[in-house]
A and B are shown apart, each in its own frame.
Chain A
Amino acid sequence: NAGVTQTPKFQVLKTGQSMTLQCAQDMNHNSMYWYRQDPGMGLRLIYYSASEGTTDKGEVPNGYNVSRLNKREFSLRLESAAPSQTSVYFCASTRTVLSGANVLTFGAGSRLTVL
Chain B
Amino acid sequence: GQQVMQIPQYQHVQEGEDFTTYCNSSTTLSNIQWYKQRPGGHPVFLIQLVKSGEVKKQKRLTFQFGEAKKNSSLHITATQTTDVGTYFCAGTNAGKSTFGDGTTLTVKP
A22 to nearest B CB, angstroms? 16
A103 B48 Cβ-Cβ under 8 A: yes
Interface size on A, residues (CB 8 A): 20
The secondary-structure label for the interface of chain A is strand
Residues 1-52 of A contacting B (Cβ, < 8 Å): 35, 40-44
Q: What separation, in Å, do the CA atoms of A40 and B92 have in the docked complex?
A: 22
Count residues of chain B with CB under 8 A from any CB of chain A: 23
Contacts of B97 in A (CB 8 A): 102, 104
Residues in A neighbouring B1, C-beta threshold 8 A: 59
The answer for the CA separation of A98 and B54 in the assembled complex, in Å, is: 14
Chain B residues with CB under 8 Å of A105's CB are 45
Distance between Cα atoms of A59 and B1 in the complex (Å):
10
Interface of B with A (CB < 8 Å)? 1, 6, 9, 30-31, 33, 35, 41-45, 48, 50, 88, 90, 92, 95, 97, 99-102
Given A42-B88, A101-B92, A104-B43, 9 more A-B residue pairs with CB atoms under 8 Å apart are: A41-B102, A44-B99, A98-B48, A99-B30, A101-B33, A104-B33, A104-B45, A106-B42, A107-B42
